[in-house]
Structure 1
Amino acid sequence: MRRKRTNLSLSLAIALSLLIAPVASAEGADTKVDYLALGDSLAAGQSYDKTIGKGYTDYLGSQLSKIGVLSSFTKQFAVSGYTTTQILNDIESNIVKNGVSIQDEIKNAEIITIDAGANDLLQLIEIDREELKVTYDQEELTAGITTVGQNLTSIFAKIKALNPTAEIYVMGYYNPFPILPSPYKEQFVPLLDALNQVIANVSKPFGATFVPTADSIAKNALGYLPNIQDIHPNQAGYLAIANDFWKAINVKKQASFNDDIPEVAKEEIEYLVEKGIIAGYVNGNFGPNDLITRVQSAIMLNRAIVYSDDSAPNPNYTDVNDHTFGYDVIAKMTEAGVFAGNNQLFNPGNPLTRAEMAKVLVQAFELKGTGARSFNDVSSDYWAAAYISTLAENGITIGYNDGSFKPNDYITRAEFSIMLSRALNDSFK
């Protein structure tokens, strides 16, 4: 039966209020992660103005803390200007900083991120930013890329010898010179592709995950790289890189449910549980057919996407205050433009409709569409028509067999898990 959004019964309202808390609880709460960031200035958090601040590694640390698994985070072994040779030397010599050795940090880490290789090549390239010219020796660069591959192979081998179970995530580099005119861009981009291919290839034998970032930065290159004299991104650029990593990272949380997960959503739910995005109830159930509320979906999205860890301003909803469950998340999601209220109300305990689901997923993941997809129960002037079409165009939903979308129906925990998994991971589409 098609559900109506208005006139919730008292019993349903009470049930929904009880459903809010379990999403914030975490099965496998004993999962703890020590996170070690190795690499160059990007891992250190150097900004385009030469200062060291929050970089993608800091945001990943904050995200691990947000989902309740972070035990420790250090980036003290990440150094601006470092090459793969210097990182390898630090590991081999077991360098000590602040009373802690790099080998001990490697041994204790569950997650290790690395960005290395760009400085190996940048020192072989002469770039005239005034004349926008690039000069290099092809043989030297080819040899440099070979050296990067050899050094990374040694780095991975030593890490795995010290810690066979560590999860390693390796950054692929973006084009740091989007201002270059076409003739030079056509020379430089293939070099970047060759470097990234080598990094990806040498990562595979060690089970390291290659994390591409070129496409994410290219979407807004001049916005993310505001100083044409510097290759480092601003905070928005670092957040884009952090999200590339976050999509790849799996903290391996575990949850054991009482056989109430439907087969159709089993892989997606397990995927989200392992990433720390969703959990079950304290009684061991997942509750796949329970309706998901607006605040619950906001919490899941806040765990699925890396946002700035700065406090968001008061969203000024009349039904939300700083004592409201999920207040910080509601404020953050409102600041990010993912959620918006209606008549100054957020309605945190209201169940999410399929139309609202379409809007928040499109906004959260910045999905693009043409408006080409239509459904027989969604008119062109319906408030969410563009969002629904975009969601379908991106392969996240195809609607029902009868050609309908049922925009006003509420969405369940299992259904939202399926949609969110597809937005995060193309393999679920």
Structure 2
Amino acid sequence: MIMRKIATMLLSLSMLSTVAIGKVSAAENNKSIDYVALGDSLAAGQKPTAIGSASTKLYGTSYPKFIRDDLSSNGLLNSYANFGMSGYETWNVANDLMTTDSATQNAISEAEIITLDIGANDLLAYLEAEEGDVSNLLDRLAYMDQDQINYLIYQMDLLKSSAVPYTVYQVSTIVAQIKTLNPDAQIYVMGYYNAFSFLNDFSDDPALQSKIDILIPELEELIQAYNIVLEQAITAMSYQSPGITYVSTWEAMGGDVNSNARTYLPLDIHPTVQGYRAIAQAFWDEMSE
């Protein structure tokens, strides 16, 4: 008999204590787990880069790698596949899942654990901030008067009622695709953290910073609006198809207080190694329940 949660196992002290997921044949008998990560630059492990920098993107330790390493160090990991790509939007992941006999399809069909973070780039594209680069937005903001800023805020409010529900619908479709490929997989869907906390005290120009300060809470509200709708959708899906879990990373990454902003998000929306570890911890919190 295939079980969705079969045991609890001791993990390292740096992470939370337990995880138990998968099929009896893979995880109970052999104590091995096949883990697949899907998503955008966060899954890929993109490093923080100064806004507007023309530097080549650099990659390092991502939150899936922390999950992978702890599974491995405890003798639980059978295989690991990370398909996270910088710039990925929901349609990219959906397309990968629909490609017959692709590496993504094959890996998912065998996985016990699947993590997913996607949707941010869909929303940021509406703000001309592709892949999290807000330099274009800030350049425009520098020349805006108050009326233009008010109109930008109005546009962001519209995103909450239009783009947010549509993006969440796309994510829900991806989760349904995964369940079709592997009904027994445990799927963990990430809610986004306060990705714009680095904009606090960002500019040396007081006039520009005052405009940025007006925009910061609006950006934060956009992320939270997405998180709220996403959590509702994932929770609803979990009632019909067990093994789907929403993972909040808002508090883990500093929340509204932004107490860890300089440590976790010093330059742009991409975390430092410490930030990626904090995100991985949030996943373990859910996996260990």
Q: Tell me the TM-score normalized by structure 1.
A: 0.48
If you compute each CA radius of gyration, which structure gives the higher value, 1 or 2? 1
Q: Does structure 1 conserve the Cα–Cα contact (< 8 Å) formed by 2:196 and 2:220?
A: no
Counterpart of 2:3?
A: none
In the alignment, does 2:36 pair up with 1:36?
A: yes
Counterpart of 2:168?
A: 149
Counterpart of 2:71?
A: 64
Deviations 1:405-429 (A, max 9, x none): xxxxxxxxxxxxxxxxxxxxxxxxx
The 3-state SS of whatever aligns with 1:217 is: coil
Deviation at 1:176, TM superposition (A): 1.4
Counterpart of 2:215?
A: 184
The 3-state SS of whatever aligns with 1:241 is: helix
Counterpart of 1:195?
A: 226
One-letter amino acid of the structure 1 residue matched with residue 158 of structure 2: E
User: Aligned residues: percent identity?
Assistant: 38
Deviation at 1:36, TM superposition (A): 0.1
Counterpart of 2:281?
A: 243
1:23-422 equivalent positions in 2, closer than 5 A = 30-49=30-49, 50-75=57-82, 77-94=83-100, 96=102, 101-126=103-128, 127=134, 128-129=137-138, 135=152, 137=155, 138-178=157-197, 179-180=199-200, 181-204=212-235, 205-206=237-238, 207=242, 208-218=244-254, 219-227=259-267, 230-250=268-288
Structure number having the greater helix percentage: 2
Q: Distance in 2 between matches of 1:95 and 1:143?
A: 34
Distance 1:240 1:55, change over 3 A: same
Deviations 1:264-303 (A, max 9, x none): xxxxxxx7xxxxxxxxxxxxxxxxxxxxxxxxxxxxxxxx
The 3-state SS of whatever aligns with 2:75 is: coil
Q: Does structure 1 conserve the Cα–Cα contact (< 8 Å) formed by 2:34 and 2:78?
A: yes
Deviation at 1:140, TM superposition (A): 4.3
Runs of 4+ aligned residues of structure 1 deviating over 6 Å after TM superposition are none
Q: Distance in 2 between matches of 1:74 and 1:241?
A: 18
Distance 1:36 1:210, change over 3 A: same
Q: Distance in 2 between matches of 1:94 and 1:172?
A: 29
The 3-state SS of whatever aligns with 2:38 is: strand
One-letter amino acid of the structure 2 residue matched with residue 69 of structure 1: L
Deviation at 1:173, TM superposition (A): 0.4
Contiguous gaps of at least 5 residues in structure 1: 1-26, 251-270, 272-429
One-letter amino acid of the structure 2 residue matched with residue 42 of structure 1: L
Counterpart of 1:322?
A: none
One-letter amino acid of the structure 2 residue matched with residue 40 of structure 1: D
Q: Distance in 1 between matches of 2:28 and 2:173?
A: 34
Q: Does structure 1 conserve the Cα–Cα contact (< 8 Å) formed by 2:160 and 2:226?
A: no
Deviation at 1:141, TM superposition (A): 5.0
Contiguous gaps of at least 5 residues in structure 2: 1-26, 50-56, 129-133, 201-211
Deviation at 1:198, TM superposition (A): 1.8
The 3-state SS of whatever aligns with 1:169 is: strand
Count of residues paired in the alignment: 218
Higher relative contact order (CA 8 A, sep 6+): 2
Q: Distance in 2 between matches of 1:160 and 1:55?
A: 24
Q: Distance in 2 between matches of 1:191 and 1:152?
A: 17
The 3-state SS of whatever aligns with 2:266 is: coil
Q: Distance in 2 between matches of 1:95 and 1:56?
A: 27
Deviations 1:221-280 (A, max 9, x none): 1211111xx210110111111111111124xxxxxxxxxxxxxxxxxxxx7xxxxxxxxx
Q: Distance in 2 between matches of 1:153 and 1:143?
A: 16
Deviation at 1:88, TM superposition (A): 0.9
Q: Does structure 2 conserve the Cα–Cα contact (< 8 Å) formed by 1:29 and 1:69?
A: no
Q: Tell me the TM-score normalized by structure 2.
A: 0.69
Q: Does structure 2 conserve the Cα–Cα contact (< 8 Å) formed by 1:35 and 1:112?
A: yes
One-letter amino acid of the structure 1 residue matched with residue 60 of structure 2: G
Q: Does structure 2 conserve the Cα–Cα contact (< 8 Å) formed by 1:225 and 1:237?
A: yes
